[in-house]
A = this chain, B = another copy of it.
Amino acid sequence: MVIISLDLQSESPIYIQLRNKIIEGIASKQLRPGDPLPSVRTFAQDLGVNMHTVNKAYQLLKQDGFIQIHRQKGVVINPDGMPSVDGNYLANVRENLRPVISESVCRGMNKEELMKLIQEVYEEIQKGGEHDDLH
């Protein structure tokens, strides 16, 4: 299993953090299509949070096609592959990036510095999966 640490003092809700951590796990290939995820109850206990908080994160991931939920097999990373980059997603991510990029422009970052930053984070994410498989 992937070790997931939550920041209970963070401004972003626990169920959002959990959703993001799982997505980061997939991006870094620590989690691969078909891999099982813990049940809502055991995961909640492991993380020290409520069952419904985990369920909320699972519902988001299911809704976007990142996971499948079967009453029999439990929860798995979608074996049929990940959701694609459609127009809806693109418009969304643009809106999210706009204020972030705007602020870095205000603070004096030029295009090259911004690109370098993005590239660093990009490689940092991939690097996270270069350890021994933990699942």
A residues sitting closer than 8 Å to B (CB atoms) are: 20, 23-24, 26-28, 66, 82-85, 89-90, 93-94, 96-109, 111, 113-115, 117-122, 124-126
- Taking the closest CB of chain B, its distance from the CB of A58, in whole angstroms, is 16
B97 touches A118 (CB 8 A): yes
* A83 and B97 form a contact (CB under 8 A): no
Residues of chain B contacted by A125 (CB below 8 angstroms): 98, 101-102, 105
CA of A97 to CA of B24 in the docked complex: distance in angstroms? 11
- A122 CB contacts on chain B under 8 angstroms: 101, 105, 111, 114
User: When chains A and B are docked, how far (Å) is the Cα of A107 from the Cα of B84?
Assistant: 5
Contact call B100/A96, Cβ cutoff below 8 A: yes
